[in-house]
Amino acid sequence: MAIRRGRGVAAINYPTGMNLGGDPTQALVHSTPTGNFMVTLSSVDLGQGMKQIMAQICAETIGVPTDRVVIDTADTDTGPHCMGTFASRGTHRAGNAVIQAAKEARQVMLEVAAEELEVNASDLETDGQGNIQVKGAPQKSISIFDVALSAHFKRGRSISGRGMFLIPRSYPEKETGAMKPSTCYAHACTVAEVEVDDETGEVTVLTVKNVFEIGRALNPKMVEQQLVGGSWMGISHALYETTEPYYPSRDHGGTDFNQYLMPGPGDLAETEIIVLERPSADGPFGAKGPGEMCANPQIPAVANAVFDAVGVRIDTLPITPERILRALKTQAAG
């Protein structure tokens, strides 16, 4: 009886969105009298930070700092339609809609600034700090604060925009299955290293090295929180979780966190995250949807590492000590 060490690899891809059902999201953007920008949506923030990302996308597009943007979302009396937050679609779909709306608002903003500065709008640029200036002559400038005041009180303009993202619904061809189920794909490769106690069947995940290709890390700190959390969830799926431990029997299902097993902080592996960015052709600033994908590759990587350690295949999830011991017993008998 011994502690045995093994490692396994898995490589995957993951689709963004759900074109098989049509996939619309709309957005509205308008400025306040003092040049702050309201983004109105009906998209839902599940805790992953959607509001923050939409604020950064709007800010980048209009050319103001992120703290000048306010997100008003998930009120059906004010927010235009969003299909929902699922299918790794939130950042991609809503982000595209916000860009389109923000571009329209930016154009009006530049037109008002052009009137105030008596130049052509096409000769203007934003400095990202809250000012609009003439290209090549930054000393000729006006603050966005003043532009918004002018639009509201003097010029009678609405600095606002409408945005929408829609991919036509794809209907699978009956006989061949030809279809366009999604847009861009995110990618990952994970190497997991485990120790398996061949006396108890217990698995300890020592390290998980994840490489994720996600199009564009719009906010790297938030990308990190999502990818690390996903990686932990993958380990949890591989080794711990189920509501029906003796599936297909319905018996012995857990009803609280005492019975439904998940790893605690001490059970989590040393986690390494490496991010590659190949911008997608159709995502906001090249972003793809890594929200779901990041929890997938750890499962087969751990399964393959268990085999590498003790030489038995567990092809049924979760990979419990009971399943490992039964397989070891069968192996020893055979």
Partner 1 sequence: MELRKDYFADVRKDGLHEIGQGRPRLDSPGHVTGKTAYFADRNFPGMLHLKMVRSPHHHARIRSIDTSEAEKHPGVVRVLTAKDVPHNVYTILILIQIGPEDETVLADGKVRWKGEAVVAVLAETERAAQEAAAKVKVDYEVLPAVFDMEEALKPGAPLVNEYHGQNYYLYDSGECRKVRFGDVDASFAQADHILEQSYQSSPIEHAPTETTGCVVTPEGNDRFTCYTNTQAMFFTLDNASIILQMPGSKLHFVGGTVGGGFGGKVDVIVEPIAILAAKLTGRPVCFIYSREEEMQISSPRAAEKVVIKDGVMKDGRIVARKVTGYTDAGAYSRHSPYGAQKGAAHYPGPYTIPNVWIDTYCVYTNRTPSSAMRGFGVTIGDFALEVQMDKLARLIGMDPLEFRFINAYRDGDMKAHRQPTEGAALIECMQAASRAANWPVAEKYMAMSSYRKGV
Q: Which of 242, 267, 268, 326 binds partner 1 (CB under 8 A)?
A: 242
Query: Is residue 276 involved in binding partner 1 (CB under 8 A)?
Result: yes
Query: Which region, judged by CB under 8 A, interacts with partner 1, from 32-40, 103-111, 150-158, 208-216?
Result: 208-216
Of residues 45, 1, 10, 50, the one with CA closest to residue 308? 10
141 scored as a contact of partner 1 (CB under 8 A): no
Is the bond preceding residue 265 a cis peptide, omega within 30 degrees? Answer: no
* Contact flag: residue 330 with partner 1 (CB under 8 A): no
Q: Shortest approach of partner 1 to residue 128 CB, angstroms?
A: 4
List 194, 290, 304, 309, residue binding partner 1 (CB under 8 A)? 304
CA distances from 332 to 96, 158, 196, 270, 326 (A): 57, 77, 16, 32, 10
Nearest to partner 1 of 197, 308 (CB atom) = 308
* CB-count exposure of residue 120 (10 Å: 0-12, 13-18, 19+): exposed
Question: Does residue number 254 form part of the binding site for partner 1 (CB under 8 A)?
Answer: yes
When asked if residue 175 is in the footprint of partner 1 (CB under 8 A), the reply is yes
Q: Which amino acid is located at 242 in the chain? A: T
List binders of partner 1 among 9-68 (CB under 8 A).
9-15, 18, 20-22, 42-47, 49, 51-52, 55-57, 59-60, 63, 65-67
Residue located via tokens 């994970």: 190
Query: Residue 86 interacts with partner 1 (CB under 8 A)?
Result: yes
Q: Which residues, in sequence order, are bridge partners of residue 143?
A: 131
Angle ∠(125,80,132) on CA atoms, nearest 5: 10
Say whether residue 331 binds partner 1 (CB under 8 A): no
Contact 144, 133 (CB under 8 A): no
Reported residue count of the chain is 334
Which of 2, 3, 33, 75 is close enough to bind partner 1 by CB under 8 A? Answer: 75
Q: Which of 118, 168, 221, 264 binds partner 1 (CB under 8 A)?
A: 221
Residue closer to partner 1 by CB (options 161, 297) is: 297
Paired with 188 in beta bridges are 12, 212
Q: Prior bond to 172 cis, omega within 30? A: no
Closer Cβ to partner 1, 55 or 150, answer by number? 55
Considering only residues 100 through 139, tell me which ones interact with partner 1, judged by CB under 8 A: 128
Which is nearest to 198 in space by CA: 106, 79, 329, 21? 329
**Tokens found for residue 213:** 């290709």
Question: 3-state class of 134 per DSSP?
Answer: strand
CA-to-CA dists, residue 244 to 114, 235, 255, 258, angstroms: 65, 18, 10, 15
Q: Does 261 bind partner 1 (CB under 8 A)?
A: no
Closer to partner 1 by CB, 150 or 236: give it: 236
Q: With respect to partner 1, which residue has the nearer C-beta, 150 or 190?
A: 190
Q: Is 191 in the site for partner 1 (CB under 8 A)?
A: yes
- Identity of the amino acid at 162: R
Q: How far is the CB of 164 from partner 1 (least distance, A)?
A: 14
Q: Report if residue 321 touches partner 1, rule: CB under 8 A.
A: no
168 binds partner 1 (CB under 8 A): no
Among positions 105, 117, 217, 324, the unique one binding partner 1 when judged by CB under 8 A: 217
